Amino acid sequence: MITQRASGILLHPTSLPGPFGIGDFGADAYKFVDWLKASGQTYWQVLPLGEIGPGNSPYMSSSAFAGSILFIDLFELAEHGWLDDEDLIPLPEFNADRANYDLTKPFRIERLRRASKRFFSSPDHCLHQAFAKFCELEQEWLNDYALFMAIAKQEEGREWSCWPHELMGRETPALSKAAIKCADEISFWKFCQWGFARQWSNLKDYANRQGILIIGDVPIFVALQSADVWSHQDLFELNENGRPLVVAGVPPDYFSETGQLWGNPLYRWDVHQKTDYKWWIYRLKKALQLSDYVRIDHFRGFASYWEVPADAPNAIYGKWKSGPSEKLFIAFKNSFPNLPIIAEDLGMITPDVIELREQFQLPGMRILQFAFGEDESNHFLPHHYIHNTVAYTGTHDNDTSVGWWNSLPEHQKSFVQHYLGSDGHNIQWVMMSALSNSNANTVIFPMQDVLGLPNTCRMNYPGLPVGNWEWRFNWGQIQAEHSKLMLNMSMEHHRFSATEFP
């Protein structure tokens, strides 16, 4: 349960300003923390910080534990002497308003490789000892991850189920041979993870000292092409060739008439139970080292999940299956007494989902953009909010509030105008104020709404495979009035107080 009244901003680090194609953990991230503090905010909510997957999605990472190496601040590497001035010249094609992953990924990886070589050839024993200590502390996931990434490069990106049988099946002699052959590549990936962890830890520590808490994001499922599935094949519904028998998705809903076919392998929950949910407890432990609270995406999947045959053309052809429910959360509670978890309980929510969330006093989510399709009995209208709630104008999957308003049919606009007492002028501020004035202890505003940006600046279109996760802001868009309005709203609605750590 989150008991303090406070507010914050949803902004993924990729959306930060910066010279190298996407935002990172450099100076602009620290400047953003300063802006949050000056604006009376308490939370910085991010999307998953792991490696991006197909479509540049942070929800399809190659590891549930590794961080995205694209976030590593190149200037900090240069301070150690691992990069020189020529390495820090941006490509002229980089766009300050949109992330171009096709450009920035090879640019950054090339410089990380240069930095890695210089680090390992340097005589700095203190830093070498720090690196060795990191590798020792994180060996439970790091060794498999680095080996996975090295073999994937050797196999030219083919899915691990298509690797030679002895590597696919993780036969010990084959893994030992690969580790020797790929020793330099393995060291590179470990160096990158050390850089990510070191820089994010410094940034998070700075944010906490400024009174800013981090809300992280944990996807319920993991990608098939990941070190996790490859190294823990017994925990997933796979056949003897490493291919999924069934995959994850959701039935037809608000976002799609055919549902969403995510394609992630599903868990063998009976096997997890036999291990006392060891893998999940470790996963949550690592997530809480990166953030102060974690939002678990698709929380309803713990009560029941949509199982789709692996060869199905879309998510219509699925069925509901029972999840681990309270058994998993009892295990969580035993390891994390305060359970600093936010439950993403959107979509087709049934009584068992509500019962599970309430049993462990987890805050659920309310989205204001979902509130005006019916009448005043709608669950998402602010007068229905309870204290243990995290309320949003919209999430990364929604349109911006300005874009949403401009696309509304007239009858819904009339409802909005009547309920919010607004003619639609500066609709984003009207919506933000309605949330801020509500009973919800926690309210989160997408940065796009603070800036009053249109539909072209939304973060993600669910079901659309390309063109997502690209939006970026620049400091020229932020005016003094933005900070003043945010601060005044926080003070007026009693959301500006001393920070409470979970």
- At 431-442, the pLDDT tens digits run 999 999 999 999
Amino acid at 172: T
Task: Round to whole Å and give the CA distance between 395 and 444.
Answer: 9
DSSP state of 470: -
Q: What is the pTM of this model?
A: 0.96
Has residue 47 been placed in a domain? yes
Has residue 191 been placed in a domain? yes
Give Cα separations from 92 to 96, 127, 382 (angstroms): 11, 34, 46
Confidence of residue 150 (pLDDT cuts 50, 70, 90): very high
Q: What is the dihedral of CA 89, 93, 98, 101, to 10 degrees?
A: -80
Active site residue 344: yes
- For residue 145, the enclosing domain spans 1-213+472-490
DSSP state of 244: B
Find the catalytic residue in 76, 217, 344, 345: 344
Look at the chain and report how many structural domains it folds into. 1
- At 30-44, the pLDDT tens digits run 999 999 999 999 999
Q: End-to-end CA distance of the chain: give it in Å, rounded.
A: 9
- Does the pLDDT of residue 485 top 50, yes or no? yes
Give Cα separations from 121 to 34, 118, 125, 127, 197 (angstroms): 37, 5, 11, 12, 21
Has residue 263 been placed in a domain? no
Active site residue 228: no
What residues contact 330, with CB distance under 8 A and at least 6 apart? none
Residue with tokens 């295990």: 331
Find the catalytic residue in 138, 144, 297, 449: 297
Torsion 356-362-368-372 (CA) sign: positive
Has residue 368 been placed in a domain? no
- At 223-276, the pLDDT tens digits run 999 999 999 999 999 999 999 999 999 998 766 788 889 999 999 999 999 999
Has residue 362 been placed in a domain? no
Q: What's the CATH number where 182 sits?
A: 3.20.20.80
Has residue 4 been placed in a domain? yes
Task: Round to whole Å and give the CA distance between 220 and 186.
Answer: 27
Active site residue 297: yes
Find the catalytic residue in 166, 253, 326, 397: 397
What residues contact 370, with CB distance under 8 A and at least 6 apart? 254, 346, 378, 380
What residues contact 280, with CB distance under 8 A and at least 6 apart? 272, 328, 331, 332
Task: Round to whole Å and give the CA distance between 88 and 20.
Answer: 8
What does the block give as tokens for 44?
A: 């910085």
